[in-house]
Structure 1
Amino acid sequence: MEWKRINRKLERHPARAVIYSFALADIIGAILLWCPFSHVKTLSFIDALFTSTSAICVTGLTVVNTAQDFTHLGQFIILVLMQLGGLGVMTFSVFIALGFKDSLSFSSRLSLQESFLPHFTPEPRKLLFTIFAYTFISEALIALGLFLCFLGHGLGIKVSLAQAIFHAVSAFCNAGFSTFNDGMIDFQKSYAVLALIALAILLGNTGFPIVYELLSFFKEKRHKLSLHFKLTVYTHVALIIFGTVAFLWFDSAGAMAGLSWPLKVVTAVFHSVSARTAGFNSIDIAHFSEHSIYVFLILMVIGACPGSTGGGIKTTTFAVLSCTVWSRLRGFPQAVAFKRSIPVDQVGKAVTLVFIYLLAIMLFHFFLTFTEPNIPFYKSQHEFLGALFEVVSALGTVGLSTGVTSNLNLWGKICIILTMFVGRVGLLSLISFLSEVGHEPRPYRYPKERVMVG
């Protein structure tokens, strides 16, 4: 009886279900990683919780070495947590629920729609099947390619297969975990490995709505693509180009000095793609110039596309705000893009999300600098930038670090754990909450009164 009451309560508040499901999976994962069969050396519960949170929130920040400190079973648990976190615990819950009954409640449909599509879907079973098929087919193909690459590096069949599967899931889910001692730095000069990892990241963070619309476009032979598709793809491509050019401009003679020009281009593209929430790096981040670090910060804040495995404020949020500013400068009364007007409520939603996101960065950054008074960064004491980079990386579920993570104290770890959890769950819950409010608009308005702005 008590379970039915809780279930009804969660049905009325889908946002709570998202939070509770992630929290439960996080705690279970931490307990499993804390067990003796999961780790080689002594592992504290806070480190187990940090690793579990990083995996379920597909972040990739680590306080222990994944390759050296965890057993094969422990690494498998991390892989499962990454897969759960990448697609969303609620997605798996809905998938399981559909296996036991023919229909879903309205709130479950709403939660599914808010996670993966910009419109309501009358066919959740078909949608879920497409999501899982796309995910596992993509991961399988990337794993096959990586297996051949690792085999060519002389790792052996079993090791190559295990590493290929782990990194395919980690890259597609934009998790950034690696079971190599130095991550992708070991394959700094491998065009194929870097290209496959970057491709997997793009397959995961481009967003399922884009894939779903492309499939519908060719299958149903539509003549037009939606505004959501255009804004997402244009912004996505523009950010990749921006990051690539910036890294080449600022660090072709710095962090990438020892590489050939073709490899510099590949490395710049790889980091531009990875910085948007994946967290893989083929060069130590601490070796990049401060100008490149600022570029990393910009890319990490914007993040991936909506309905994807990545974090950040999302590309469409950035695009909507950019269109709003540009439209105002051109004299339009509201945001315009591709000869379409963007609803005012969506502009307000984007402004609210960005404000809360930036506020969260400031609060967590203040707390981290308070708990970690001496954070090293790039062989000097740039504590402010080092702490800011760590917080933005955690909140955007990116996983890149300048070397701060492994030196965190207890309160610093707790701060980053909370930051990762809020980045993966809090903003999703906020979006869900705002959408619920949007379906029940208040039937009245207050009188207008002007204020001075700027």
Structure 2
Amino acid sequence: MHRGHLSFLDALFTSTSAVCVTGLTVVDTADTFTLPGKIVLLALIQVGGLGIMTFSTLFFLLFGRAVPIEESLALKESFTPYQGVRLKPLLLTIISYTLIIEAVVTILLFLGFMPLFAPSSALFHAAFHAVSAFCNAGFSDLPDGLLAYRRNYYLPGVIMLAVLAGNTGFPIIFETVNRIRSRRPRSWSLHLKLTLSIHLVLILMGGFFFFWFERAGAFQNLPLPSKLMNALFLSVSARTAGFNLIDLTAFSEASLYLLISLMFVGACPGSTGGGVKTTTLGVLLASVVSRLRGLSRTMAFKRTIPEELLHKALTLVTLYALVIFAAQFLLVSSLPHRPFSDLGSDFLARLFEVTSALGTVGLSIGLTPELSNFEKLVIIGTMFIGRVGVLSLAILLTGLSAGHKEFYYPKEEVLLG
């Protein structure tokens, strides 16, 4: 399964990172794990990407057993904001979409890896990266990850499209499929409009600013087309995928703060990614714009957003900020006493690390392999909270769901993280 010594804590860290589709690693994946170990890692990523609940529900259906009502409702709310959706078609759409995308991406990556590796190795590398990219896990079984492909256009382009296919969200896919099947044209939902508009703006904005900040920095030795590709790739990957074509230690502080912001927002709801989700940001921005316009209600695309969703968005962002603050405090408090003038970039490195862990991103500026045992436990807990969801975990721990079912299972058509 692995070469050399692998401590239990390091194995726990790696498995948690895989199941939580984060991608942070304290050991080198390519050098540490043998083929069986990488296959186990790949299986954990696949299960984590779609969710344990999805697979448990699938087993219920395969064996002809009734799905518990709580699990059925939770699964529907995880993947679609629309009422009246039947569980079996929803589940079949999710599984089919996943397998088709991963198969297509595997074939495309295999064609790209063929000139570089033996056919069997090229096929495994392709399958590993296809699953990792679609599930937004950020794991790579190549010795230096994707760093050798910064001047390549084909392989990063395919991986970027696979990441987008995974983090755009199943509700968008489900609505699009239903719209194509329907013979009667219907207007696009508020959820789709709000999600895709924020999604696109963040991708383009992130790509522009990464290019602007690093055109004479981390990208200085690259030709203009490669600069644009690397900037766009990082903008897409920063929102929970965790792949990088250039060592992040070469980036400026401005770029690192932008990365932290994108990691905080994360992917679209009902996707394989983490973060507070694009619709949460969209609801908050819509609320600010509505108040500035003097409106008493929150409006977006000429539609009213229920106040309950605004309250949920505020709660979600507050909880995320509190978790980041708590994890950051635990990491910095474990350091030996040093005056602030001697800390250097330690504070930023740890803030980057906890945001990456909570957003299930997996990007790091080199801190992960240097973590102490205590710090590894903090990051393990942060990754777990990020994948389970701070709001769901808070509801579970406080028992709010017992008296607030409508809060956990909203009937509105905007789905938050």
| TM-score with structure 2 setting the length | 0.93
The aligned counterpart of 2:41 is 78
Change (3 A) 1:373 1:150: farther
What is the distance in 2 between the residues matched to 1:437 and 1:189?
55
1:301, CA displacement in angstroms?
0.2
SS in 2 for 1:336: strand
SS in 2 for 1:183: coil
Change (3 A) 1:310 1:425: same
Matched, 1:213 2:175: yes
Q: How well do the aligned residues superpose, as a CA RMSD in angstroms?
A: 1.8
Report if aligned partners of 1:372, 1:409 keep a CA contact under 8 Å in 2. Answer: no
1:134, CA displacement in angstroms?
0.1
Decide which of 126, 129, 150 is 1:164's aligned counterpart.
Answer: 126
What is the distance in 2 between the residues matched to 1:185 and 1:71?
21
Report if aligned partners of 2:385, 2:393 keep a CA contact under 8 Å in 1. Answer: no
What is the distance in 2 between the residues matched to 1:318 and 1:374?
37
What is the distance in 2 between the residues matched to 1:431 and 1:239?
28
1:438, CA displacement in angstroms?
3.9
What is the distance in 1 between the residues matched to 2:275 and 2:331?
19
1:440, CA displacement in angstroms?
5.7
Decide which of 198, 215, 222 is 1:259's aligned counterpart.
Answer: 222
Decide which of 155, 158, 169 is 1:196's aligned counterpart.
Answer: 158
One-letter amino acid of the structure 1 residue matched with residue 405 of structure 2 = H
Change (3 A) 1:257 1:436: farther
One-letter amino acid of the structure 2 residue matched with residue 256 of structure 1 = F
| Pairing of 1:43-442 with structure 2 (within 5 A) | 43-101=6-64, 103-152=66-115, 154-220=116-182, 221-373=184-336, 381-427=344-390, 429-430=392-393, 437-439=403-405
Report if aligned partners of 1:312, 1:423 keep a CA contact under 8 Å in 2. Answer: yes
What is the distance in 2 between the residues matched to 1:253 and 1:205?
30
One-letter amino acid of the structure 1 residue matched with residue 161 of structure 2 = L
Which one is further off, 187-196 or 422-431?
Answer: 422-431
Report if aligned partners of 1:111, 1:432 keep a CA contact under 8 Å in 2. Answer: no
What is the distance in 2 between the residues matched to 1:58 and 1:170?
8
Which one is further off, 89-98 or 121-130?
Answer: 121-130
Change (3 A) 1:363 1:431: closer
Moved over 3 A (4+): 372-375, 430-441
One-letter amino acid of the structure 2 residue matched with residue 326 of structure 1 = V
What is the distance in 2 between the residues matched to 1:316 and 1:431?
20
| TM-score with structure 1 setting the length | 0.85
Q: Which runs of 5+ in 1 are unaligned?
A: 1-37, 442-454
1:111, CA displacement in angstroms?
1.2
One-letter amino acid of the structure 2 residue matched with residue 187 of structure 1 = Y
What is the distance in 2 between the residues matched to 1:440 and 1:223?
27
Change (3 A) 1:319 1:86: same
Report if aligned partners of 1:109, 1:121 keep a CA contact under 8 Å in 2. Answer: no
The aligned counterpart of 1:451 is none
1:432, CA displacement in angstroms?
6.9
Change (3 A) 1:430 1:231: farther
One-letter amino acid of the structure 1 residue matched with residue 33 of structure 2 = F
Change (3 A) 1:193 1:131: same
One-letter amino acid of the structure 2 residue matched with residue 205 of structure 1 = N
What is the distance in 2 between the residues matched to 1:72 and 1:301?
34
Change (3 A) 1:88 1:303: same
1:373, CA displacement in angstroms?
4.5
The aligned counterpart of 2:412 is none
What is the distance in 2 between the residues matched to 1:167 and 1:428?
30
1:372, CA displacement in angstroms?
3.8
- Which structure has more RCO (C-alpha within 8 Å, separation ≥ 6)? 2
Matched residue pairs, number?
400
Change (3 A) 1:65 1:372: farther
Identical amino acids, percent of aligned pairs: 50
The aligned counterpart of 1:5 is none
Report if aligned partners of 2:319, 2:391 keep a CA contact under 8 Å in 1. Answer: no
Give a deviation string over 1:66-90, Cα, whole Å, max 9, x none: 0000110000000000000000011
SS in 1 for 2:146: helix
1:370, CA displacement in angstroms?
1.4
